[in-house]
């Protein structure tokens, strides 16, 4: 190139060298340890990074702990459900007894002059019945105190039939309050069980995703190398 200046020629050579280097480095390289085919043409397993493996193990451990918590919360809910059913059965029985007692009390009682001894007997009868019902947990301590203090209509002068009817009604009220409390405990236990189950589902999904990302037990979806004509009868490897 006799007509080209030396400086221009040098610049052209440098540009060609720079363009060639850029083209070489621009070609993406493939890591045979990650997603390249094996020399035999078989698919190669993904190589997990240490950080991904560690995270997958931590999530798996958290999922196992969440499973234990979920089972425990469910057992608590099942016991609370059984307690609510038992409380309802106790209330239903108390209601039947109270209705029978109220039906028997509709018959009139002849009024007559009562002696002090008779009034004292009726008072002892009322206190004895109330204490026995409290020992059987049919009455609460607050109800017992009201009965012993003769408040809220508790009159020891009344006939024992009327006192028995009032006691049966008080037992029914106490049983119903116990049923409502058991129902509330069952509702709260169910909510806690549902929260634990939702947490478990989320952790299991995250553990599976982390395991896939780490490449633990996952095979790359690549086709095997073409089989030569002489070995065409051999079966191909299945990609799992």
pLDDT of res. 161: 87
What is the pLDDT tens value at each position of the chain, 240 positions in all? 455 566 666 777 777 766 666 666 555 555 444 444 444 444 444 444 678 888 888 999 999 999 999 999 999 999 999 999 999 999 999 999 999 988 877 766 556 667 888 889 999 999 999 999 999 999 999 999 999 999 988 988 888 888 999 999 999 999 999 999 999 999 999 999 999 999 999 999 999 998 888 874 443 334 444 444 433 334 333 333
**CB-facing half-sphere around the CA of 2: CA atoms within 13 A:** 0
pLDDT of res. 85: 96
Q: Do 63 and 220 contact (CB within 8 A), yes or no?
A: no
The string of DSSP letters for 173-190 reads: HHHHHHHHHHHHHHHHHH
pLDDT of res. 8: 66
The residue to which tokens 């020891």 are assigned: 156
Q: Do 181 and 188 contact (CB within 8 A), yes or no?
A: no
Task: Write out the H or E segment, with its range, that includes residue 145.
Answer: helix 141-148
pLDDT of res. 129: 94
pLDDT of res. 25: 58
Helices 116-135 and 160-214, packing angle to 10 deg: 10
Cα–Cα distances (Å) from 223 to 216, 234, 237, 239, in that order, read 20, 16, 9, 8
**138 CB neighbour count, 10 Å cutoff:** 21
**Alpha-carbon span 138 to 25, nearest angstrom:** 88
Q: What is the dihedral of CA 68, 70, 72, 73, to 10 degrees?
A: 160
pLDDT of res. 117: 87
pTM as predicted: 0.61
The residue to which tokens 């952790």 are assigned: 203
């Amino acid at each position: 190139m006799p007509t080209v200046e030396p400086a221009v020629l040098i610049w052209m050579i440098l540009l060609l060298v720079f363009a060639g280097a850029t083209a070489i480095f621009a070609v993406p390289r493939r890591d045979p340890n990650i997603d390249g085919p094996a020399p035999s043409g078989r698919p190669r397993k993904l190589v997990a990074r240490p950080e991904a493996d560690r995270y997958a193990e931590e999530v798996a451990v958290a999922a196992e702990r969440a499973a234990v918590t979920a089972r425990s919360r469910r057992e608590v809910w099942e016991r609370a459900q059984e307690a609510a059913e038992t409380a309802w059965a106790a209330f239903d029985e108390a209601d039947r007894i109270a209705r029978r007692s109220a039906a028997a009390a509709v018959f009139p009682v002849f009024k007559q002059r009562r002696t002090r001894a008779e009034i004292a007997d009726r008072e002892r009868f009322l206190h004895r019945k109330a204490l026995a019902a409290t020992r059987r947990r049919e009455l609460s301590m607050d109800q017992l105190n009201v009965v012993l203090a003769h408040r809220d209509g508790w009159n020891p002068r009344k006939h024992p039939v009327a006192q028995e009817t009032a006691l049966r009604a008080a037992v029914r009220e106490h049983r119903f309050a116990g049923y409502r409390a058991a129902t509330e405990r069952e509702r709260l236990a169910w909510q806690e069980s549902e929260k634990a189950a939702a947490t478990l589902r989320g952790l299991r999904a995250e553990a599976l995703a982390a395991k896939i990302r780490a490449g633990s037990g996952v095979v790359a979806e690549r086709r095997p190398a073409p089989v030569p004509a002489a070995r065409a009868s051999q079966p191909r490897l299945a990609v799992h």
